[in-house]
Amino acid sequence: MSFAQSKWVWMNGEIILWENATTHVSAHGLHYGTGVFEGVRCYETPNGPAVFRLDAHLDRLYASAESCGMLIPFNAGELAEAICQVVRRNDFRDCYIRPLCYYGSGVLGLNPRACPVEVAVLAWPWETYLGAEGLEQGVSITISPWRKFHSSMMPTKAKACGQYINSVLALRDALDRGYAEALLLDADGHLAEGSGENLFLVRGNQVITNDECHSILPDITRDSVLRIARDLGFGVEVRTLSVTELLTAEEAFFTGTAAEVTPISEVDGTKIGGGARGPVTHRIQKAFFAAVQSRDSSYADWLHPVSSQPDALTNGSSLVSNVAHVIPIQ
Ligand code: PPE
């Protein structure tokens, strides 16, 4: 990935040049990780670029902010338009979008209340997260010595900046040991999630994943894949998963906005199934890409064209009212 093509950033209500989108070193968020963010993808479709599940991402952003006691000084309609504007101004088709809200410069000390909440939206082309080869062949992963933090320690449902130190530690350790990604166990030793993805296993006709009881981020790709798997006629189970079940699964794959649907070929040297992308993963992957690229009209409600007229969004009320039902994490 590279920022070379990103010329414009939306910051605190204005579109500004990338190089001007800066913050002071005294910003609270920089010292203590006090911020929340989203990762969103925009895909090229026959009707122009469209943002995938924009309303669900905004809903999670506001929920993350609320669980950290942060008030975002823009409404969902304004942020939706900011996101579309960043894609349009940069002339992107397929891209990754990163809305970020953090406590800026005001005071230091742990209480952030006297600091302004700064809001920025950046975007850049981010083709594949775990490599193009990973999408086709699968990735080799390791079970991390770092456990995923428990909900009694951090708000696991929030996508909060400082919490990502946990993921960074796990990923760095995995990369240092020659693996493409880390899988974290929860505090009880059950499977939790990847450093930036959720996990699915396949057994026969069943597609199985875990839920928030296992410290996962309530994620949007996982929710989308659950619907796709049901629509394809697979049985779906949401329950506790053990390491043994992973090692003996017929197939396993990661889901995430950045990772999309990435097969897992090996875990700590043990091949999963045939050690390559399995047929169920492949079918789900194809259906997922057909949905996000608007080649399957049954998922049209997941796509938000970036060319939408701002007027349709500015008061935000329609968007806010329909976000509540969009993330039924099960
Ligand atoms: N768990 C974690 C810890 C996580 O960070 C992500 C997304 C997911 C699950 C999947 O969530 P969703 O995107 O809603 O399906 N990780 C984001 C950040 C990746 C990064 O490296 O930065 C992402 O995929 O955008």
Nearest ligand 1 atom, CA 39: 25
The predicted structure's pLDDT at residue 131: 86
The predicted structure's pLDDT at residue 323: 31
Residues 109 and 162 in one domain: no
Q: Which of 32-41, 156-165, 210-219 has the lowest mean pLDDT?
A: 210-219
3-class state of residue 222 by DSSP: helix
263 part of a folded domain: yes
In DSSP notation, 23-52 reads --TT-HHHHH--EEE--EEEE--TTS-EEE
Closest CA to 267 of 285, 241, 239, 243: 243
Handedness of CA 165, 171, 175, 178 (dihedral sign): positive
Residues 107 and 140 in one domain: no
Residues 76 and 151 in one domain: no
- Which residues does 295 contact at the CB level (< 8 Å), separation at least 6? 46, 289
Burial 247-269 (b: 16+ CB within 10 A, else e): eebbbbbbbbbbbbbbbbbbbee
| Strand partners of residue 201 | 208, 252
Is the model's pLDDT at 56 over the cut of 60?
Answer: yes
Ligand 1, atom 16, lies closest to the CA of: 196
CA 46–ligand 1 middle distance (angstroms): 26
- Which residues does 286 contact at the CB level (< 8 Å), separation at least 6? none
Q: Which pLDDT band holds residue 324 (cuts at 50, 70, 90)? A: very low
Residues 140 and 288 in one domain: yes
CA 196–ligand 1 middle distance (angstroms): 4
Per-residue pLDDT tens over the stretch 81-107: 999 999 999 999 999 999 999 999 999
Per-residue pLDDT tens over the stretch 250-300: 999 999 999 999 999 999 999 999 999 999 999 999 999 999 999 999 999
287 part of a folded domain: yes
257 CB under 6 A from ligand 1? yes
Percent share of the chain, pLDDT over 70: 93
Residues 221 and 84 in one domain: no
Residues 156 and 262 in one domain: yes
178 part of a folded domain: yes
Over residues 50-54, mean pLDDT: 98
Q: Output the CA angle 220-218-241, nearest 5 degrees.
A: 110
CATH number at residue 234: 3.20.10.10
Q: Which pLDDT band holds residue 310 (cuts at 50, 70, 90)? A: low
81 CB under 6 A from ligand 1? no
Best mutation site among 53, 171, 217 for ligand 1 pocket (most ligand atoms within 8 Å of CB) = 217
Best mutation site among 52, 154, 186, 219 for ligand 1 pocket (most ligand atoms within 8 Å of CB) = 219
Given its phi and psi angles, is residue 109 left (phi above 0), alpha (psi -120 to 50 degrees) or beta? left
C-alpha–C-alpha distance, residues 319 and 74, integer Å: 13
Per-residue pLDDT tens over the stretch 134-152: 999 999 999 999 999 999 9
Residues 200 and 251 in one domain: yes
The predicted structure's pLDDT at residue 296: 97
Is the model's pLDDT at 321 over the cut of 50?
Answer: no
Domain containing 166: what range?
132-297
Given its phi and psi angles, is residue 216 left (phi above 0), alpha (psi -120 to 50 degrees) or beta? beta
The predicted structure's pLDDT at residue 220: 97
Best mutation site among 151, 169, 198 for ligand 1 pocket (most ligand atoms within 8 Å of CB) = 198
The predicted structure's pLDDT at residue 269: 97
Nearest ligand 1 atom, CA 216: 1
Ligand 1, atom 19, lies closest to the CA of: 196
Residues 53 and 175 in one domain: no
Give the Cβ contact number of residue 239 at 10 Å: 12
The predicted structure's pLDDT at residue 309: 53
Task: Give the catalytic positions in this structure.
Answer: 159
In DSSP notation, 47-76 reads TS-EEETHHHHHHHHHHHHHHTTPPPSS-H
The predicted structure's pLDDT at residue 313: 43
C-alpha–C-alpha distance, residues 23 and 124, integer Å: 19
319 part of a folded domain: no
CA 312–ligand 1 middle distance (angstroms): 29
Residues 176 and 286 in one domain: yes
Q: Which pLDDT band holds residue 132 (cuts at 50, 70, 90)? A: confident
221 CB under 6 A from ligand 1? yes
Per the model's pLDDT, the better-predicted residue between 240 and 318 turns out to be 240
Ligand 1, atom 25, lies closest to the CA of: 39
C-alpha–C-alpha distance, residues 303 and 291, integer Å: 9
Question: pTM for this one?
Answer: 0.92
CA 258–ligand 1 middle distance (angstroms): 6
